[in-house]
Chains A and B, each alone.
Chain A
Amino acid sequence: MLILTRKFGENIRIGDKIKIIILDVKGGQVKLGIDAPPNVAVHREEIYERIREENRRASGISAKALRDVASIFNKGKKRRSRGPTGDAAPSTGST
């Protein structure tokens, strides 16, 4: 990894088209300005980590759990079509 020391107001160039500007340094925080072409995605690392974590969680889904949830949806559809009486069936739980 390349490590550079920069002062407030100094810049870093990555290639011809990406410029990183040190806008402010205060306490433990650094404020960066990033100039990059529109085809370069710039996001906070935390967003990627949250999505990775959520994907790992989601990949553990079981067929039974999804079948149960799907049946709730489909029950809702049927109940709706029965008419305006809104006869709520007793909750049976779906665990």
Chain B
Amino acid sequence: MFLNSKVLGEMEVRDEAILYFPDGIFGFDELKRFIMVEVEEFLPFLWLISTEQPEIGFAIADPRLFYGSPYEVNLSESDKDALDHQTGDQISTFVIVSIADGGRKITANLKGPVVLNTRNRLGKQVVVYSSSFSVRQHLLAPEEDQAATVGASARSRIAAQG
């Protein structure tokens, strides 16, 4: 299918690339099908774009970019049911990113990460009940230099974790 997204323009999407979110994304419950798009100029961020309403797109990222201490999402039994989770399945975790103040405030939603079962491409936005995670976890300090340092250390951290 062809898809004309607001942020990336027109693209061709193979059916097998489509991710299925049976419950949608909170606040966008009617949107069930998404694609994840990696474009070099936006890395380390990826786009999660609705195929049903291509003007809706989210920037997502590896949560390790945003959080110094280990961030682990413990899936509830109902989350596992939604993902048809079976032994040996790989679950990828992403956080949705917001940018405010002309790029000075970059936050990630650690309270509502997006999880994806890579085997069957089922996805879900889950709720992390721990009070230590915020819907607006800051990534960057206002100063660009500090931002660059955070970025660099986050990258090396990811490299270290393989």
Residues of chain A having any CB pair with chain B under 8 Å: 37-41, 43, 47-48, 50-59, 61-63, 65-70, 72-77, 79-80, 88, 91-95
Contacts and interface: CB of A to CB of B under 8 A. Distances in A.
Please report whether the interface of chain B is mostly helix, strand, loop or mixed according to DSSP.
Answer: mixed
Contact of A54 (B41, B57, B103, B136): B136
Contacts, number: 140
A66 B27 contact: no
A74 B43 contact: yes
A47 B7 contact: no
Contact of B111 (A51, A66, A69): A51
Given A51-B26, A94-B144, A95-B102, A58 B59 contact: yes
A77 B151 contact: yes
Interface of A is mostly: helix
B145 A88 contact: yes
Scoring B44, B145, B156 by chain A CB atoms within 10 A of each residue's CB, the highest score goes to: B145
B158 to A, nearest CB: 11
Given A39-B77, A73-B44, A55 B111 contact: no
B148 A52 contact: no
A66 B96 contact: no
B39 to A, nearest CB: 9
Contacts of B42: 63, 66-67, 70
B20 interface: no
Given A51-B112, A92-B144, A66 B127 contact: no
B97 to A, nearest CB: 7
Nearest to A59: B56
Interface string B95-111: 01111101110100101
A69 B78 contact: no
Interface string B118-160: 0000000101010000011000100111011111101110000
Contacts of B21: none
15 contacts: A48-B26, A51-B135, A52-B27, A53-B27, A55-B109, A57-B98, A58-B97, A61-B59, A63-B42, A69-B103, A70-B43, A73-B44, A76-B152, A80-B148, A80-B149
